[in-house]
Chains A and B, each alone.
Chain A
Amino acid sequence: DAGVTQSPTHLIKTRGQQVTLRCSPISGHKSVSWYQQVLGQGPQFIFQYYEKEERGRGNFPDRFSARQFPNYSSELNVNALLLGDSALYLCASSRGQKNTGELFFGEGSRLTVL
Chain B
Amino acid sequence: EDKVVQSPLSLVVHEGDTVTLNCSYEVTNFRSLLWYKQEKKAPTFLFMLTSSGIEKKSGRLSSILDKKELFSILNITATQTGDSAVYLCAVEAQGAQKLVFGQGTRLTINP
User: Which of A45, A107, A110 makes the CB contact (< 8 A) with B98?
Assistant: A45
Whether B97 lies near A44 (C-beta < 8 A) is: no
Cα–Cα distance between A45 and B101 once the two chains are bound (Å) = 9
Query: Which of A40, A44, A88, A104 interacts with B45 by CB under 8 Å?
Result: A104
Find chain A residues with CB under 8 A from B88 CB.
42-43
What is the size, in residues, of chain A's interface with B at 8 Å between Cβ atoms?
29
- Stretch of A20-28, A62-70, A71-79, A94-102 with 4 or more beta carbons under 8 angstroms from chain B: A94-102
- In the complex, what's the smallest C-beta–C-beta distance from B9 to chain A, in angstroms? 9
Known contacts being A42-B102, A45-B100, A90-B42, is A98 close to B90, with CB within 8 Å? no
* 1/0 contact string of B91-105 vs chain A (CB within 8 Å): 010011111111110
B97 and A98 form a contact (CB under 8 A): yes
Task: Evaluate contact between B4 and A48: CB separation under 8 angstroms.
Answer: no
Interface string of A36-55 (1 = CB under 8 A from B): 00001111110010100001
Minimum CB–CB distance for A6 against chain B, Å: 9
Interface centre among A3, A48, A97, A100 (most CB of B within 10 A): A100
Asked if B102 and A56 make an inter-chain contact with CB atoms under 8 angstroms apart, the answer reads: no
Q: Does B68 contact A (CB under 8 A)?
A: no
B110 interface residue (CB < 8 Å to A): no
Chain B, range 55-100, C-beta contacts under 8 Å to A: 88, 90, 92, 95-100
Of the candidates B4, B42, B99, B102, which one forms a contact with A100 in the assembled complex, judged by CB atoms under 8 Å apart?
B99
Given A43-B43, A88-B41, A33:B104 Cβ within 8 A: no
Pairs A-B, 9 closest by C-beta atoms: A42-B101, A56-B97, A45-B98, A105-B42, A107-B41, A108-B41, A101-B48, A48-B97, A101-B32
